A = this chain, B = another copy of it.
Amino acid sequence: MLRKVRIVGSGLIGTSIGLGLVQQGIAVEMVDSDSFAQALAEDLTGGVVVADPELVVFALPTSALSQVIKSEIAINPQSTFMDVGSVKSEVVLQIETFPGLSTRFLPTHPMAGREIGGAGSARADLFQGRSWILTPEANCAPESKNLVLDLISSLGATPIELSARDHDAAVAKISHLPQIAASLVAKQLTGTPAEWMELAGQGLRDTTRIAGSDEKLWKEIIYSNRSEISELLISLQNDLTQMIAALDDPAKIAELIAAGREGKAMIPGKHGGKAREYSYLPIVIDDKPGQLGAIFNECAAMEVNVEDLNIEHSPGQQSALITLSLSALDAEKLSAHLTSIGWNVHPVRK
């Protein structure tokens, strides 16, 4: 049973872990090299000092890890260690420089985060329902692993075991590649006349949303996973070269766009598991308080479950277009009901 945890690093992830554990009645000590961050994290979590923690969590940049491991081994010679960095092979290499450490050091990666960093953005529920990847080495001690599994389930996350190498290849593809692509596409916008930018639609907004990310965090991640990322960027570059060569050949352009659609179909639905097909129900509403509430009350009355919602405001107009994502059955039911009571519903005809 997990009772005492020391968390080294009081940023978003470390402090969120602290908050979540404290809620479960676990004693948590927050530490940071930045005294301001440590003070804030202590305020938020209760600020106790724990002796002989069972588990020490490293929630800090991988580049700072080696130094911190050294000092923590000295003061906590019996503790289990874990880190929460976004890249794992490099952590494994660092662990291997400390003889015997791999039996009690678990590299992990919680698949959660926010666009805003720092202890001030921390949330006890940050990991609720998220995946938390472990990449233990073969000689990892079972009792160490159980402590880490205990922490993960205390925070409401689901543990998934992968090899460090598979983890790094997976996140390179599903996280690091999209980040770099979004940043480089957004970079092309620099210097564009404002009146052109006014024409931007949802496509550009979605494609570049994560380009707003913090470069201090991302330089670490990308650098640490450079060998996996390099392969992917070269493959992207080859496809880009093909597209440039294909610009005079509509059939070849179509082939590349179609290949993209096939790749996109690999992404599962929001609930995890198999990709789910939603039906979309567009409704034009007056852009005033009360309209959304009224619609959701009708959803509740009809026992319809809204999977997602998009709101599109028409600039300079008093109307908004909301689009509900529903199961096909719910969409049909709700569409008929809302139409019958006078809502401006625009079901997509089959």
Report A's interface with B, CB cutoff 8 A: 111, 116, 120-121, 123, 125, 128-131, 133, 156, 158, 160, 166, 169-171, 173-175, 177-190, 192-201, 203-213, 215-216, 218-220, 222-223, 226, 229-230, 232-237, 239-241, 243-244, 247-251, 253-268, 270-273, 282, 284, 287, 289-290, 292-300, 303-309, 311-317, 319, 321, 346, 348-350
Minimal beta-carbon separation of A145 from chain B (angstroms): 20
Q: Known contacts A173-B188, A210-B207, A293-B296; decide if A321 and B253 are in contact (CB<8 Å).
A: no
Whole-angstrom distance between the alpha carbons of A50 and B287 in the complex?
A: 37
Chain B residues positioned under 8 Å from A183 (CB to CB): 256-257, 259-261
Determine whether the beta carbon of A130 is less than 8 Å from that of B314: yes
Q: Known contacts A130-B314, A173-B192, A254-B215; decide if A111 and B184 are in contact (CB<8 Å).
A: no
Determine whether the beta carbon of B261 is less than 8 Å from that of A213: yes
Chain B residues positioned under 8 Å from A267 (CB to CB): 189, 197, 200, 204-205, 208
Partner of A131, one of B198, B250, B266: B198
Instruction: Give the interface SS of chain A, mostly helix, strand, loop or mixed.
Output: helix
Q: Known contacts A317-B129, A350-B120; decide if A203 and B180 are in contact (CB<8 Å).
A: no
Chain B residues positioned under 8 Å from A306 (CB to CB): 292, 311
Q: Known contacts A219-B251, A219-B254; decide if A264 and B186 are in contact (CB<8 Å).
A: yes
Q: Known contacts A184-B236, A250-B220; decide if A189 and B263 are in contact (CB<8 Å).
A: yes
Chain B residues positioned under 8 Å from A253 (CB to CB): 215, 218-219, 222-223
In the complex, the chain B residue whose C-beta lies closest to that of A249 is B223
Determine whether the beta carbon of A207 is less than 8 Å from that of B182: yes
Partner of A121, one of B239, B294, B316, B349: B349
